[in-house]
């Protein structure tokens, strides 16, 4: 590759790989729940296909990162190992071992889901800067809306999308009014992950709101500090002018004294 084009290519791959990785991680979530629909072979087959597509996207992103980091440090090696593990897990999950999952298979699949959610959280936090409260709240609302759709799909007691959003909110907020509760294994598993994501998202939102108030106080203190510094600079400048005038006066006085002494001699 032309050396002059190498930085441009690297920037393009770095920009393009983020949505590719994010899409692959997101596709693996519905794939997990589609495999739970053992009574519908078409849904199960769709779940296998989504797992294969997710594995391909994550593997493509991992290859781009490996190719781009060969000349750099290994600071992304941990994330690449996690991505490769998720890719392998998606490929294995795409294989139909049995209709009913064994306890070991349940644990492995739940472990894969936990790794996927961890990687999504790492990816989101990596590009989330402090003070971007609007973006964070928007992301929280999107997560709540998606969780509502998930409960509407997975939970038979949820009769409409509004009830799904309500169940998602009470689950994320860990309120638990008890009017609607998850009753199926798939919705219970979904609720566990929603609670974990909810804790993280609420922590980020509250931390940014607190930082907003603290930031305002810091701005006021900074303005007062700058005003004091400007006042101090003016006083120092006035003192320097006064010292210059005194030095000039002393120099003139010394010159006059010497002139008088020379006249006397």
- Tokens, residue 137: 């709240």
- Same domain for 168 and 40? no
Same domain, 78 and 137: no
What's the whole-number average pLDDT of the chain?
A: 78
Is the pLDDT reported for residue 1 higher than 50?
no
Range of the domain at 148: 130-265
Least confident of 24-28, 169-173, 203-207, 224-228: 203-207
Residues 15 and 108 reside in one and the same domain: yes
Share of the chain above pLDDT 90, in %: 3
Lowest mean pLDDT, pick from 46-60, 191-205, 226-240: 191-205
Q: Provide the pLDDT confidence category of residue 3 given band limits of 50, 70 and 90.
A: very low
Could you read off the pLDDT of 30-59 as tens digits, one per residue?
Answer: 888 788 766 678 888 888 898 999 999 999
Query: Do 256 and 167 have their domain in common?
Result: yes
Together in a domain, 200 and 257: yes
> pLDDT per residue over 54-81, tens digit each?
999 999 888 877 776 655 555 567 788 8
What is d(CA 48, CA 34) in angstroms, rounded to the nearest whole number?
8
What are the angstrom distances between the C-alpha of 63 and each of 68, 77, 115, 116? 8, 12, 19, 18
* Whole-number Å distance between alpha carbons of 95 and 83: 19
Instruction: Report the distance separating Cα 136 and Cα 180, nearest Å.
Output: 28
pLDDT confidence bin for 265, thresholds 50/70/90? low
pLDDT of residue 5: 41
**Same domain for 61 and 16:** yes
* 116 & 135 share domain: no
In tens, the pLDDT along 152-187 reads: 888 888 889 899 889 888 888 878 788 888 888 778
- Tell me the pLDDT band of 131, cut-offs 50, 70 and 90: low
- 106 plus 237 within the same structural domain: no
Shared domain for 183 and 96, answered yes or no, is: no
Contact 141, 166 (CB under 8 A): no
- Domain end among 94, 127, 160: 127
pLDDT digits (tens, 9 = 90+) for 94-122: 887 666 777 788 888 888 888 888 888 78
As for how many domains the chain has, the answer is: 2
The pLDDT value given to residue 2: 45
pLDDT at 18 over 80: no
User: Which CATH number does the domain housing residue 205 bear?
Assistant: 1.10.287.70
Domain boundary among 81, 97, 127: 127
Residues 27, 122 share a domain = yes
Residue 111 to residue 182: CA distance in whole angstroms: 21
Domain boundary among 106, 127, 148: 127
Q: What confidence score (pLDDT) does residue 8 get?
A: 44
- Mean local confidence (pLDDT), 212-220: 70
pLDDT of residue 200: 75
Tell me how long the chain is: 265
Using alpha carbons, select from 173, 179, 213 the residue that is nearest to residue 195. Answer: 173
Q: State whether 117 and 148 are in the same domain.
A: no
What was the pLDDT predicted at 88? 92
Residues 123, 142, single domain; the answer is no
């Amino acid at each position: 590759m032309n050396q002059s084009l190498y930085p441009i290519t690297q920037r393009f791959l770095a920009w393009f790989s983020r949505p590719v990785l994010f899409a692959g991680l997101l596709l693996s979530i519905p794939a997990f729940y589609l495999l739970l629909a053992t009574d519908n072979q078409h849904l199960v087959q769709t779940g296998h296909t989504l797992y294969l597509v997710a594995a391909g996207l994550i593997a493509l992103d991992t290859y781009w990162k490996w190719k781009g980091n060969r000349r750099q440090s290994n600071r992304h090696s941990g994330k690449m190992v996690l991505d490769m593990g998720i890719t392998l897990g998606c490929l294995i999950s795409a294989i139909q071992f049995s209709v009913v999952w064994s306890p070991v298979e349940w644990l492995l699949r739940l472990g894969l889901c936990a790794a996927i959610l961890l990687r999504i959280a790492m990816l989101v936090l990596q590009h989330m800067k402090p003070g971007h409260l609007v973006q964070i709240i928007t992301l929280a609302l999107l997560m709540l809306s998606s969780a509502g759709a998930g409960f509407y799909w997975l939970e038979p007691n949820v009769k409409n999308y509004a009830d799904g959003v309500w169940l998602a909110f009470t689950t994320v907020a860990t309120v638990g009014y008890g009017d609607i509760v998850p009753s199926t294994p798939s919705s219970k598993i979904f609720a566990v992950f929603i609670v974990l994501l909810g804790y993280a998202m609420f922590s980020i939102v509250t931390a940014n709101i607190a930082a907003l108030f603290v930031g305002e106080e810091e701005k006021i203190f900074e303005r007062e500090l700058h005003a004091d510094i400007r006042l101090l600079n003016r006083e120092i400048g006035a003192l320097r002018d006064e010292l210059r005038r005194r030095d000039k006066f002393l120099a003139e006085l010394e010159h006059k004294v010497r002139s008088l002494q020379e006249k006397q001699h």
